[in-house]
Amino acid sequence: MLNVMRNAAMAISANNMIDSGTKQVDYDVCRFDKSFEEFFSLIDQLEVHLRTSIECLNQSGQSAKYLPVPVTPNKTDNSMTYPQYIELVKGQIAYAKEIHGALTEASQRMCDS
């Protein structure tokens, strides 16, 4: 906006000097229309960013409305510690070995008879 105002002021000043006859017509005066187009381009970009921000806010509101629980659940109370887990696995391995031994012994008895 500052650039547009500066170029407009320079164009008005140049036109005033030309009208009063103190300056000859100079076509190298800064381009007011170019700076005005740059200003409108920036305004359009700002509008796009604002629309995107509004859409993000709407999506956030819809997410909070239709997904009231957090996506990642908190730790449950019935979880076990790592040492408890190790003891449980050791017990399961011992039980599996016991079953394996019983089945092996039963199959050998069947083959011997």
The pLDDT value given to residue 98: 94
Residue type, 23: K
Reported as a single tens digit per residue, the pLDDT across 27-70 is 555 676 787 788 889 899 999 999 999 999 998 888 777 665 55
DSSP string, the chain: -HHHHHHHHHHHHHHHHHHHTSS---TTS--HHHHHHHHHHHHHHHHHHHHHHHHHHHHHHHHHHH--S-SSPPPPTT---HHHHHHHHHHHHHHHHHHHHHHHHHHHHHHH-
85 and 64 share a domain?
no
Is the pLDDT at 80 greater than 80? The verdict is: no
Same domain, 17 and 43: yes
Domain housing 50? 1-73
Amino acid at 95: Y
Do 65 and 86 lie in one domain? The reply is no
pLDDT grade for 74, boundaries at 50, 70 and 90: low
Q: The tokens 């105002």 sit on which residue?
A: 5
Domain count, the chain: 2
Q: Which residue has the higher pLDDT, 2 or 102?
A: 102
Amino acid present at 24? Q
Average pLDDT, the chain: 80
Query: Mean of the pLDDT values across residues 15-38?
Result: 73
